[in-house]
Amino acid sequence: MGFRDDFVWGVATSSYQVEGAAFADGKGRSIWDDFCHTPGKVYGGHTADVGCDHYHRYPEDVALMRALGVRNCRISLSWPRILPQGTGEVNEAGLAFYDALIDTLLAAGIKPLVTLYHWDLPSALQRRGGWQNPESPAWFEAYAAVVAKRFAGRVHDYFTFNEPQCVIGLGNVDGSMAPGLMLPVRETVPMSYHIHVAHGLAVRRLRELAGDVRIGFVNCGDARLPATDTPEDIQAARESFFAMPQDPAMWPWCNGWWGDPVLLGHYPEDGLRMLGQYLPDGFEKALPLISQPLDYAVHNFYQGSRVQAGRGILPWPEGHPRTANDWPVTPDALYWGTRFLYERYHKPVFIAENGMSAHDAVSLDGAVHDPNRIDFYHRYLLALRRAAGEGIPVHGYLAWSFMDNFEWNSGYKERFGLVYVDYATQERIPKDSALWYKHVMETNGAAL
Ligand code: FCB
């Protein structure tokens, strides 16, 4: 048994990473515009002012997707392009861009899957405290309502938040990503609560206003792989995948903290013991809202760690394969991660991102050969197929990314795309992996 007949194969991108046109047509600034223009924050001083210029080149990008057999594309919407101040006045030109992009995708037979928040918070809202402000859930709800109404009948798949772990852990705890703050735990735990409530409000709005929709909340975080196949190691890996990290400063990376309230309607016990004191009084009353029914458990998997009973996380041996940005290559992340998510949440599992960075280059023959990426995808997809073959409902898989793009604080150094982008000319060159993945999608994985 392999992937189900209606398995969703596709690719993913995000607004800030590909669109460019950062200050065009009435778009407001986002915290990423500010971050990129603060010296020393992003590798090489790169900005995404132009990015892949997808804002202007989307017709040719969508045509290329179609030629490469893409049937599902996860995009995100730039909140400040739609609401320049974050709340209040709507920028019609911003909505018109997404009308055009979505209609072009649909006309090409490509289903758009839309993420509302892929990190580009309007700067105007950050000035009001961002996710620290107790009004932030209402801001997000109003934004979701604008989107839901506008795209009703055209968009049937939504994700509310992308990787809240990174929003808090990288944006507000270690400061390596926008808005670059280093806040203490008593200030960041309430932010997670605001994000959860914002999610619940948005789900309610989408179900009310957007017609027939499927909705997910996109988590991330390393998978845990048992060091051996003994029941003890498997149990240790399972527990570790959802547990609070030993070091309280690492709390944003706890999968249970983010997933349980949304999918089970309660916070995990170990999380409450460590962080409950920082939640606002009466937080329990919001749990029914936070846990509005969702259609799947969504996770972005790139890597995993090995766990042994009694010993915890083991280091990878010297020389273990790594991607260009130093992430270990761990294909079984897609088997164990998928399995553990299903066992806990009893929802179909949707992999909304997976892929690798390499320092790809154009060869003398004019092509971009990336056998390492093909091997990476091949191994990870075999592991996912193993999970599907054991009867775990796996809803879909989206490759990160359709094309090379602005990799946050690494700038353009890391290339994650199936399509190579020459940033000087904006030329697109499908890499070998794009042609390989086309065949995998067309055969519903039989080509693996
Ligand atoms: C994920 C992000 C995505 C991309 C990949 C490499 O954490 O969601 O935007 O940067 O990592």
For the chain, the average pLDDT equals 98
Q: What is the pLDDT averaged over residues 116-144?
A: 99
CA–CA separation, 297 and 350 (whole Å): 6
SS3 of residue 33 by DSSP: helix
Closest CA to 113 of 384, 298, 342, 261: 298
Cβ of 14 less than 6 Å from ligand 1? yes
Name the residue at shortest CA distance from atom 5 of ligand 1. Answer: 400
Q: Which of 217, 300, 354, 404 to mutate to test the pocket of ligand 1 (most atoms within 8 A of CB)?
A: 300
Q: Which CATH superfamily is domain 8-442 in?
A: Glycosidases (3.20.20.80)
Q: What is the pLDDT averaged over residues 175-201?
A: 98
| H helix intervals, 108-227 | 123-126, 136-151, 164-168, 185-209
> Model confidence over 308-318: pLDDT tens digits?
999 999 999 99
Active site residues: 163, 353
pLDDT band at 71 (very low <50, low <70, confident <90, very high): very high
pTM: 0.98
For the chain, domain boundaries: 8-442
Q: What pLDDT score was predicted for residue 246? A: 85
3-state DSSP helix/strand/coil % of the chain, to nearest 5: 45, 15, 40
Q: What pLDDT score was predicted for residue 108? A: 98
How many residues appear in the chain?
A: 448
Cβ of 178 less than 6 Å from ligand 1? no
Cβ of 75 less than 6 Å from ligand 1? no
> Model confidence over 35-55: pLDDT tens digits?
999 999 999 999 999 999 999
> Model confidence over 216-251: pLDDT tens digits?
999 999 999 999 999 999 999 999 999 999 888 899
| Number of helices and strands in the chain (H, E) | 16, 13
Tokens representing 296? 């799947």
SS3 of residue 400 by DSSP: strand
- Minimum-distance ligand 1 atom for the alpha carbon of 220: 7
Q: Peptide bond before 112: cis, by omega within 30 degrees of 0?
A: no
Q: What is the pLDDT averaged over residues 415-427?
A: 98
Tokens representing 330? 């761990």
Cβ of 31 less than 6 Å from ligand 1? no
Percentage with pLDDT > 90 across the chain = 98
pLDDT higher than 80, residue 89: yes
Q: What pLDDT score was predicted for residue 247? A: 87
How many other C-beta atoms lie within 10 A of the C-beta of residue 198? 25
C-alpha distance from residue 291 to each of 139, 199, 287 (Å)? 19, 9, 6
Q: Which of 43, 353, 407 to mutate to test the pocket of ligand 1 (most atoms within 8 A of CB)?
A: 353
- Minimum-distance ligand 1 atom for the alpha carbon of 355: 6
Q: What pLDDT score was predicted for residue 360? A: 98
